């Protein structure tokens, strides 16, 4: 098991480092330069959907998480401060779970 743990750690770190080792001249290629700033938006948007609306087997579900994020979006529309948004999402999801 230790071998697997350390292999997973090494591979994870290798992947993280790989992003930093791409040479500048590659990043300066026009199409790469246009795409890289959009990568985090794409990945984080996908991550939000995964965290808020998908189950472990990839089924779409509206549950306490979606309720929390829904309240967060409402508060963002009302220009609430960041920490208020995050706290309200937690409280909403906790309440929905407590009531369910």
Partner 1 sequence: MNDTPDTDGMTEEGRTTRGARQRGPEDTAVIRKALGVALATGVYGITAGALAVAAGLSVLQAMALSLLLFSGGSQFAFFGVIGAGGSPVAAVASSTLLGVRNGFYGLQVSQLLGVHRWARPVAAHFTIDESTAVAVTQTQPRQQRIGFWVTGVGIFALWNLTTFVGAVAGGSIGDPRTYGLDAAAAAAFVGLLWPRLRGRDPLAVAALAVVITVVSAPFVPAGVPVLAAVLAALVVGLPARGPRSGVVAP
Residues 16-45, interacting with partner 1 (CB under 8 A): 16-22, 27, 30-31, 33-45
Strand partners, 53: none
- Residue of the chain from 5, 78, 99, 100 that contacts partner 1 (CB under 8 A): 5
In 3D, which of 40, 38, 12, 34 has the Cα closest to residue 48?
40
Q: Interface residues for partner 1 in 57-96 (CB under 8 A)?
A: 57-60, 64-65, 67-69, 71-73, 76, 81-83, 85-95
Closest distance of CB 25 from partner 1, Å: 13
How many other C-beta atoms are found inside a 10 Å radius of the C-beta of residue 18?
Answer: 9
41: buried, middle or exposed (CB in 10 Å: 19+, 13-18, 0-12)? exposed
Least separation, in Å, of the C-beta of 82 and partner 1? Answer: 5
Distances (CA, A) of 26 to 36, 40, 86: 11, 18, 38
Size of the site for partner 1 (CB under 8 A): 75
Nearest CB to partner 1, comparing residues 25 and 83: 83
Q: Shortest distance, CB of residue 48 to partner 1, whole angstroms?
A: 5
């Amino acid at each position: 098991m230790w071998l697997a743990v350390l292999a997973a750690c090494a591979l994870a770190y290798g992947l993280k480092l790989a992003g930093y080792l791409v040479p500048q001249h590659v990043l300066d290629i026009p199409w790469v330069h246009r795409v890289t700033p959009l990568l985090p938006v794409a990945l984080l948007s996908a991550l939000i959907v995964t965290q808020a609306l998908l189950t472990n087997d990839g089924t779409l579900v509206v549950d306490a998480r979606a309720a929390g994020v829904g309240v967060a979006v409402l508060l963002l529309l009302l220009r609430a401060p960041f920490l208020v948004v995050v706290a309200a999402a937690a409280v909403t999801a906790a309440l929905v779970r407590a009531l369910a």
